[in-house]
Amino acid sequence: MYSILNKIRQVFPTACPLCAMPAAGADLCDGCHRDLWQGRQTQAACRQCGGSLAHKLSSCGDCRRRLPAFALTVAAISFSYPGDLLIRGFKERGQLAHAGLFARMLSRAMSMQVPALPALQALVPIPSGHASLRKRGFNPAAELARELCRSTRIPLRQGWLRRTREASLQKTLNSAARRKSVEGLYACDESIPACWVGVVDDVMTSGSTLHQAALVLRQAGALGVVALVAARTPRGPEHAEDTRDSLA
Ligand SMILES: [Zn+2]
Ligand SMILES: [Zn+2]
């Protein structure tokens, strides 16, 4: 069913979700695609947390001070205008077709990493809280992971992470309090094979959510974890408002 719908979309022209110019396959037009791609993929970023850097370095000061449990980050786009409009459409207005768009860009960015990413054996989405699920009716991270599984053929392992409780809203917290608020938020009830795992989330800001998820997966047996996100806030985690939770 999915492939039939995809073929139909490719035959009939659709409108670019950002500028409404003609674009095939529910995708961005060439101009918007180029702008978003260049806005993220040609900028210097910390290889570990994806935070923007003034110069090409392997890791930023934040990662050197406090080593994240994930080894690398790949983001499709930057969480800044106009990419933030796509993220808001996806998360706040349920424009689920954007998940496919983010997944295609993310899959391309993953394949272009130098040095190459470790071979990932599983994709694990960050689980939503009950309140967010009730409000939206879907988990954006799970939608993105499902589409990324289609693009990359890496198996989806949604059951490898579960939420242990509802978290307090991170919006009003500083970064230290935010880290504290997500401690123990996730659990893994399985024994994971010694493999590399991709943890999938929609927006990465402080990285504390992905850090906690990666910690749990590594404790359960994963060899290593790569953070895979649709959008990364452009500035370092200490300077950014936590957009993930302001949208929760
Ligand atoms: Zn466009
Ligand atoms: Zn970093």
Task: Going residue by residue through the chain, which has 248 residues, state the pLDDT in tens, using 9 for 90 and above.
Answer: 455 655 555 566 789 999 999 888 778 999 999 999 999 998 889 999 999 887 766 788 889 999 999 999 999 999 999 999 999 999 999 999 999 999 999 999 999 999 999 999 999 999 999 999 999 999 999 999 999 999 999 999 999 999 999 876 566 677 778 788 899 999 999 899 999 999 999 999 989 999 999 999 999 999 999 999 999 998 644 444 333 433 44
Distance CA 8, CA 20 (A): 19
Q: Which ligand is nearest to the CA of 53?
A: 2
Ligand nearest to the CA of 64: 2
What's the confidence (pLDDT) of residue 246? 36
Ligand nearest to the CA of residue 227, numbered in listed order: 2
Distance 57 CA to ligand 2 centre (A): 10
What is the whole-number distance in angstroms between the Cα of residue 72 and the centre of ligand 1?
30
- Could you list which residues have their CB under 5 Å from ion ligand 2? 46, 48-49, 51, 60, 63
E strands of the chain, at which residues?
13-15, 22-24, 72-78, 120-125, 162-163, 186-187, 196-204, 224-232
Asked whether 76 and 50 are in contact (CB, 8 A), the reply is: no
Residue 56 is predicted with a pLDDT of 67
Say how many Å lie between the CA of residue 209 and the centre of ligand 2.
Answer: 15
Q: Ligand 2 center to residue 71 CA distance, Å?
A: 10
Find how far residue 231's CA is from the centre of its chain: 6
The closest ligand to the CA of 36 turns out to be 1
- 60 C-alpha to ligand 2 centroid (Å): 4
What is the predicted pLDDT for the residue at 236?
A: 47
CA of 52 to the centre of ligand 2 (A): 8
Kindly give the distance from the C-alpha atom of residue 43 to the centroid of ligand 2, in angstroms, as a whole number. 14
Centre of ligand 2 to C-alpha 65, Å, is 9
Its pTM stands at 0.89
Which are the contacts of 70, defined by CB distance < 8 A and separation ≥ 6? 48, 199, 207, 210, 211, 214, 224, 225, 226, 227
Highest CATH level, class, for 47-246: alpha beta
The one-letter code for the residue type at 9 is R
CA of 10 to the centre of ligand 2 (A): 38
Quote the pLDDT of residue 174: 74
User: How high is the pLDDT of residue 24?
Assistant: 81
Counts for the chain of helices (H) and strands (E), in that order: 10, 8
Taking a C-beta distance cutoff of 8 angstroms, is the pair 44, 55 a contact?
A: yes
